[in-house]
Chains A and B, each alone.
Chain A
Amino acid sequence: MDSTITITKELLDNIFDHCKRDYPYECCGILIGDFDSKRVDRILGAENLRKDRMNDRYEMNPKDLIEGERLARELSLDVIGYYHSHPDHPNRPSEYDRQRAFAGMSYIIVATKEGKETDPKSWLLSEESQQFIEEIINII
């Protein structure tokens, strides 16, 4: 069955703004919402700790991950996934992404071309196959 993640245009634009602002470096953030319906209600930008390779790697600051969990709990929501950018690179997950992915979470990857054009895709790591499956992004 196809998986769909729902997000407002405003929140998606906020993610795009983050990707453009941090270009040519990879940015990252947290998706907070309802896990069962896969609806994003909030996003939280996070610090990329990979200062040595910010153009092609990201590692989310654990402080931001803890803050994401705290905020989700306060709002009676869940952390349902994460986003990151691929500057001047396709929005497909790399093997490096797959090895570090957590099954059941959604991963929105935004291809950011020359810091101007943004193109998102969302991916879900299958628990069974440990392979990424593309999710439909339902923009409302």
Chain B
Amino acid sequence: MGIKVGVPAPLRQYCDKQKEIELEGQKVKDILDSMSSNYSLLYDKICDEDGSVRQYVNLYVNGVDIKKKDNLETQVTASDAISIIPAVAGGRSHRFHYIQ
């Protein structure tokens, strides 16, 4: 039995349009390893080259940020659900971004 991982809408193009995928593992890092094997393009959007979760992506286990648990060492079981949720921040600036 795999662990359910909810995928944000813009990233579903990298996992056959699935809203939720099931991945095997006992820790969050195992889940990411499984993602790397099964959905490598999705993995690339979540993690950078050294395997760290990207700065503006957060992973939650049952609604709790893994940074408040044991990060990638956080244990998961079949009844748990992992959510991938972008960090959302910004604000006005005197320096505008160049727009196409």
Residue numbers of A with Cβ under 8 A of B are 26, 28, 35, 46, 50, 53, 56-60, 62, 65-66, 69, 73, 78-80, 82, 84, 86-87, 89-90, 92-98, 100-105, 107, 123, 126, 129, 131-134
How many contacts between A and B, using CB within 8 angstroms?
A: 113
Inter-subunit contact B100/A62 (CB<8 Å): no
Inter-subunit contact A132/B85 (CB<8 Å): no
Interface size on B, residues (CB 8 A): 27
Inter-subunit contact A58/B90 (CB<8 Å): yes
Per-position contact with A for B76-100: 1 when CB-CB < 8 Å, else 0? 0000000101111111110111111
In whole Å, how far is B61's beta carbon from the nearest beta carbon of chain A? 11
Inter-subunit contact A94/B97 (CB<8 Å): yes
CA distance A69 to B88 in the complex (A): 13
Query: Which of A50, A60, A95, A104 makes the CB contact (< 8 A) with B11?
Result: A104
Inter-subunit contact A58/B91 (CB<8 Å): yes
